[in-house]
Amino acid sequence: MFLNAVFAAASLLAAVCHVDALWPLPRSLSEGTSALRLSYGFHITLPPDIASPPLDLIEAVARTQAYLFTDNLGRLVVGRGASDVSAFETAPYLPELTLSLAPGSTVLSITAEAQKPLGERDEAYTLTVPSNGSAASITATSTLGLFRGLTTFGQLWYEYDGTIYAINTPLEVEDSPAYPYRGLLLDTARNYFPVSDLLRQLDAMSMVKINQFHWHVVDSQSFALQIPGYEELAEYGAYSPQMIYSASDVVEIVSYAGARGIDVLVEIDTPGHTAAIGDAHPDFVACNLARPWADYAAEPPAGQLRMANKTVAEWTAGLFSAVAEMFPSTIVSTGGDEVNTYCYQEDPETQAILKASDSTLEEALNTFVMGTHGALLKAGKTPAVWEEMVLDYNLTLSNETLVLVWISSEDVQAVAEKGFRVIHAASNYFYLDCGAGEWIGDDPSGNSWCDPFKTWQYTYTFDPLANLTTEQYPLIMGGQQNLWTEQSSPSNLDPIVWPRAASSAEVFWSGAGGNLTAALPRLHDVSFRMQQRGINSIPLQPLWAVQDFAVVLDAHV
Amino acid sequence: MFLNAVFAAASLLAAVCHVDALWPLPRSLSEGTSALRLSYGFHITLPPDIASPPLDLIEAVARTQAYLFTDNLGRLVVGRGASDVSAFETAPYLPELTLSLAPGSTVLSITAEAQKPLGERDEAYTLTVPSNGSAASITATSTLGLFRGLTTFGQLWYEYDGTIYAINTPLEVEDSPAYPYRGLLLDTARNYFPVSDLLRQLDAMSMVKINQFHWHVVDSQSFALQIPGYEELAEYGAYSPQMIYSASDVVEIVSYAGARGIDVLVEIDTPGHTAAIGDAHPDFVACNLARPWADYAAEPPAGQLRMANKTVAEWTAGLFSAVAEMFPSTIVSTGGDEVNTYCYQEDPETQAILKASDSTLEEALNTFVMGTHGALLKAGKTPAVWEEMVLDYNLTLSNETLVLVWISSEDVQAVAEKGFRVIHAASNYFYLDCGAGEWIGDDPSGNSWCDPFKTWQYTYTFDPLANLTTEQYPLIMGGQQNLWTEQSSPSNLDPIVWPRAASSAEVFWSGAGGNLTAALPRLHDVSFRMQQRGINSIPLQPLWAVQDFAVVLDAHV
């Protein structure tokens, strides 16, 4: 009775109902309108010609199989799938999904594939789901491709009254990402997040094929990373002994990420944003906790490594060598944003060194960065930096350096003109923390510096290639959304990030120009499926709009 | 080693450390700087001269006693209390807190006191905590006053290494609220919230002495309230059979609230915002689901009760009689916001009725509202309405009607000039949902209509008496923060509301003019104590700023 009544009201809208929840949208997709049921005996078959399948592939298959029967996502229409019964009750059963690697493929783990250099990550796959009850199949030339295919396969299914079913078969997907780098930055220095929160973000990231976790692990507020040989940094710089990422935590996080097709790019921001290093090594830090802080730093507390000091520079290079050993990724960021020159001008020790060596601050910075980057290059890593390192200073950086643009998307052109590879991370499109009010000071009318809130819609309209020449296009590696955590903690992590961070995930997988109106119902599905998996993703609209309407509700509808 | 290092850095700042976490700030407070430990045998003694103490008072005492030993809130300073050891390790133990009612006090339950009419709620109490180990005491003239005193007492205590201690004794508090109405509105119609989420909000509300839960339970999107005799409304109008507040749920919520000193004001918004009534009674609703919706409603879906229809008007009055029976509060809201006149102009039935009776729309509205208000008055209730009912229409409302100002705080003056009592709820100060982006439409640059985000600081500076004459001051009953849930669900409820909703709680308890700089560290304490009690309250600053600095960090500090 309940359902019938609502159906009557909703029947007018049936024509606009969406039929699938794939996110990011595959680059090539052909789908039918036939229903298909998942057999109770459904199973996924590993590639038959691999003698010893990688453990993380075996686990990914097991996870996929489990999610198929535990997601229990009711379709986001009135009745949550009751109207599909007539379509699926006589539908064939899908007995099997077969995975296969193309002949001649080198068999590595998902982890090893995900941790390859940017240009070498093979994420392509094809997925075929017949509507007649024949086995579905995923083929790829790497285990990472197979894993991406499994993720797509997992998004096809809804549940109603115990039946797991799809409604868009036969389906053919041929897919690979538009950009090799699709990331999410989480700052664990302004506020601390337990390992479990990070693992949950990795689960969510992998659901939308994000492949890069940019871990902004330390900053001036705290230094929570336990680095072998440099344990004093966390011992003195963490918020508390309980708020430390131990070396074994790092192993767990990197491993969990890798198994989900995610590489972990760690950032040790230098030479700015390093007051927390001063907790263990006060002599290494200029303007340490200096006040008024606003003269010395963009955000309290002030404190920057005495980069002109040879001991400090060598120590920092050694630190990066140690960090490079902890993280298998080929990319490590040395940071480099917001270096405050006044801090160094007012630091007698720095001024004495510069005078003695007849050097400029820029020359000292170059020597310092050559030291840290040299350590990384020696360890086989590609350094990444924030945009100031190439736009504000004339440093002798390798052209292989990855440059993250954060201040404004308008700066991308200048970075590309210098010939550097670009990661889009600009505050005006990709900052998840904007719009939550100013946290510094007692000005009651203060708003966040990067107001307004960046809606998923706004991020979704980003064009990664805007204002670039076709010659510059290959420099664009992809992009990431960023959560800076001045006002975040485990209490609000998931709701701030999800489902919004899925927005850039689609832009950089599927390419620019996606249709907002068509994306909305798919993104509803992403959010609700995340909730089913224990991620506190938020609703983008009232449930009425989600399940009764499922279209963009502009004033003309 | 860890702690010592950080202490060194923090010692400069010791002078600015806060010493207590009382929120809202008592109207009269005298406190010392002596430490006091809570005895392991500490107990709270009920008023000795009450033969049979109310059950909810007994339970409140038990809860207070439990929280004292389970909050385990480390003081928000570096070391989280380690620096207090020298102060408390030789401090006296507090053995007992005695409660007493002034001679001649009528003994009612907390619930009964909280549910009294606005002017009759006696929340005053005095609290004395000697520093010498003598018993502490709370005296009041009502159980509700005792309960408020228990809440204050519970905020005095920190925990370090197993010791529960206070650092601000001897303490004398003489307290009572500046305004009788301190509320929180939650909309459970745009998205549904399980009962457990509501109970958790009530716990949080009681921690900051909010005494009114304004339950915006139904709206055009859904009708989840099961009303005896009107069960069809939820049966057809709820999102699903699982998303219904049953009559017994209401009993539980009202009882849970009452025991925590909170009255539940239910709102059945009429005649606008009623599309969901059309699910059960399509004939009762004009422009039901009409499109384009923006012509007919402020928000989709369109639909308003055919108020000119006598059958509908009488049915609605009967509905309010039934609702009045469900809720013991003396206040019930009939809503009345955003009535769309075009909807009625375009409704042939309404036009025919108006023509036949030679009535204007305003006259029909007056008859309709007199019917609903008449039903409430007959049931002994005070009607509450949104501001349009007195500012946009010339209705014959009783001057006892409570008027909630929502559009703008600038409208308060006009409402007061008409002689009505005012509840502050204006969007420009009190809307918790502002700033999260536009949810309607596909305009990627759309922001929320009431941008920007309302920070706790901004709300805190609100002056309830601004632009009013002293003669009008008695009309101001208090105010409330409001969460409209277009983009909220259980996933983000706590973080959106807390600790921000504590801001108005202090304004309306302690009075206007509070000092932002002094409030910040106390509000940190509120947020962290809420987290200890399972409420996902968010951090207002990086933990560094909270525990290492604990002052407002403006650019000059």
Q: Is residue A165 part of a domain?
A: yes
Name residues 267-296 of chain A within 8 A of B (Cβ): 278-280, 289, 291-294
Place of tokens 């670039």: A468
Residue-range definition of the domain harbouring residue A475: 181-270+305-513
Q: Do you find a cis peptide bond into A499, omega within 30 degrees of 0?
A: yes
Q: Is residue A14 part of a domain?
A: no
Domain edge (last residue) among A152, A175, A198: A175
Q: Give the integer Cα–Cα distance in Å for A305 and A282.
A: 10
Q: Are A110 and A259 in contact (CB under 8 A)?
A: yes
Residue B386, H or E segment:
strand B382-386
Report CB contact under 8 Å: A190, B542: yes
Give catalytic residues of B, as residue numbers: 338
CA angle in degrees (0–180, nearest 5) for A398-A403-A408? 145
In angstroms, the separation between the Cα of residue B339 and the nearest Cα of chain A is 17
Residues A240 and A158 in one domain: no
Report CB contact under 8 Å: B487, A540: yes
Report CB contact under 8 Å: B542, A447: no
Q: Is residue A368 part of a domain?
A: yes
The predicted structure's pLDDT at residue A208: 98
Residues A316 and A237 in one domain: yes
A-chain residue closest to B518, CA distance: A442
The predicted structure's pLDDT at residue A6: 38
Report CB contact under 8 Å: A294, B485: no
Kindly state the tokens that stand for B353. 């009725």
* Nearest CA among B411, B450, B420 for reference residue B433: B450
Tell me the ipTM for this assembly: 0.94
What's the pLDDT tens digit per position in A91-118? 999 999 999 999 999 999 999 999 999 9
In sequence order, what are the residues at sequence separation of 6 or more whose Cβ sits closer than 8 angstroms to the Cβ of residue B133? Answer: B36, B92, B93, B94, B95
The predicted structure's pLDDT at residue B235: 97
Domain edge (last residue) among B175, B207, B237: B175
Residues of A in Cβ contact (< 8 Å) with B460: 444
Strand partners of residue A215:
A186, A266
Residues B156 and B41 in one domain: yes
Q: Is residue A328 part of a domain?
A: yes
Q: Give the integer Cα–Cα distance in Å for A383 and A317.
A: 12
Is the Cα torsion angle B362, B371, B399, B511 positive or negative in sign? negative
Among residues A96, A232, A235, A338, which one is catalytic? A338
Is the Cα torsion angle B439, B443, B444, B448 positive or negative in sign? negative
Output the domain CATH number for residue A58.
Answer: 3.30.379.10
The predicted structure's pLDDT at residue B547: 77
Residues B359 and B222 in one domain: yes
Q: Is residue A159 part of a domain?
A: yes
User: Dihedral, CA atoms, B496, B498, B501, B503, nearest 10 degrees?
Assistant: -120
Q: Is residue A427 part of a domain?
A: yes
Q: Could you tell me how far CA B321 lies from the centroid of its own chain? A: 25
Residues of B in Cβ contact (< 8 Å) with A192: 543
Q: How confident is the model at residue A174 (pLDDT cuts 50, 70, 90)?
A: very high
A-chain residue closest to B536, CA distance: A491
Residues A380 and A416 in one domain: yes
Residue A337 has pLDDT above 70, yes or no: yes
The Cα diameter of chain A in Å comes to: 87
- b/e map of A136-149 (b: 16 or more CB within 10 Å)? bbbbbbbbbbbbbb
What's the pLDDT tens digit per position in A195-218? 999 999 999 999 999 999 999 999
Residue A15 has pLDDT above 60, yes or no: no
* Nearest CA among B85, B80, B211 for reference residue B145: B211
Chain A interface test: which of B4, B287, B289, B453 (most A C-beta within 10 Å):
B453
Q: Are A68 and A164 in contact (CB under 8 A)?
A: yes
Question: Across the A/B interface, how many CB contacts are shorter than 8 Å?
Answer: 247
A438 touching B (Cβ < 8 Å): yes
B437 touching A (Cβ < 8 Å): yes
Kindly state the tokens that stand for A94. 């899908």
Q: Is residue B294 part of a domain?
A: yes
Residues A170 and A215 in one domain: no
Residues A197 and A142 in one domain: no
What's the pLDDT tens digit per position in A116-171? 999 999 999 999 999 999 999 999 999 999 999 999 999 999 999 999 999 999 99
The predicted structure's pLDDT at residue A547: 77
Name residues 365-424 of chain B within 8 A of A (Cβ): none
B469 by Cβ neighbours in 10 Å (0-12 / 13-18 / 19+) ranks as exposed
Per-residue pLDDT 10s for chain B (557 aa) are: 333 333 333 333 333 334 578 999 999 999 999 999 999 999 999 998 888 999 999 999 999 999 999 999 999 988 899 999 999 999 999 999 999 999 999 999 999 999 999 999 999 999 999 999 999 999 999 999 999 999 999 999 999 999 999 999 999 999 999 999 999 999 999 999 999 999 999 999 999 999 999 999 999 999 999 999 999 999 999 999 999 999 999 999 999 999 999 999 999 999 999 999 999 999 999 999 999 999 999 999 999 999 999 999 999 999 999 999 999 999 999 999 999 999 999 999 999 999 999 999 999 999 999 999 999 999 999 999 999 999 999 999 999 999 999 999 999 999 999 999 999 999 999 999 999 999 988 889 999 999 999 999 999 999 999 999 999 999 999 999 999 999 999 999 999 999 999 999 999 999 999 999 999 999 999 999 999 999 999 999 999 988 776 566 666 67
Q: What is the mean pLDDT of residues A67-92?
A: 94
A324 by Cβ neighbours in 10 Å (0-12 / 13-18 / 19+) ranks as buried
B428 touching A (Cβ < 8 Å): no
Kindly state the tokens that stand for A30. 């052909």
Residue A374 has pLDDT above 70, yes or no: yes
Residue A467 is which amino acid?
N
B488 touching A (Cβ < 8 Å): yes
Domain edge (last residue) among A175, A208, A229: A175
Residues A144 and A223 in one domain: no
Full DSSP string of B116-156:
S-GGG----EEEEE-SSSPPEEEEESSHHHHHHHHHHHHTT
Task: Show the DSSP H helices in A89-183 as ranges.
Answer: 110-114, 143-154
Residues of B in Cβ contact (< 8 Å) with A489: 538-539
Report CB contact under 8 Å: A239, B539: no
Q: Are A351 and A402 in contact (CB under 8 A)?
A: no
The predicted structure's pLDDT at residue A443: 86
Chain B interface test: which of A242, A533, A544, A549 (most B C-beta within 10 Å):
A544
A5 touching B (Cβ < 8 Å): yes
Q: Is residue A283 part of a domain?
A: no
* Nearest CA among A338, A78, A392 for reference residue B240: A78
Residues A169 and A214 in one domain: no
Q: Are A11 and A146 in contact (CB under 8 A)?
A: no
The predicted structure's pLDDT at residue B5: 37
Report CB contact under 8 Å: A279, B6: yes
Question: What's chain B's Rg over C-alpha atoms?
Answer: 25
Output the domain CATH number for residue A189.
Answer: 3.20.20.80
Q: Give the integer Cα–Cα distance in Å for A51 and A47.
A: 9
The count of domains in chain B is 2
Given phi > 0 = left and psi -120 to 50 = alpha, else beta, which region is A301? beta
A345 touching B (Cβ < 8 Å): no
Name residues 181-210 of chain A within 8 A of B (Cβ): 189-192
The predicted structure's pLDDT at residue A302: 96
Residues B209 and B147 in one domain: no
Kindly state the tokens that stand for A236. 């003195």
Residues B8 and B133 in one domain: yes
Q: Give the integer Cα–Cα distance in Å for B497 and B208.
A: 13
pTM of the model: 0.95
Residue B217 is which amino acid?
V
Residues B144 and B220 in one domain: no
The predicted structure's pLDDT at residue A442: 81
Q: Tell me how far CA of residue B61 lies from CA of A465, B81, B481, in angstroms.
A: 64, 26, 28
Which percentage of chain A shows pLDDT scores above 70? 95
A222 touching B (Cβ < 8 Å): yes
Residue B335, H or E segment:
strand B331-335
The predicted structure's pLDDT at residue B551: 61
Strand partners of residue A267:
A216, A333
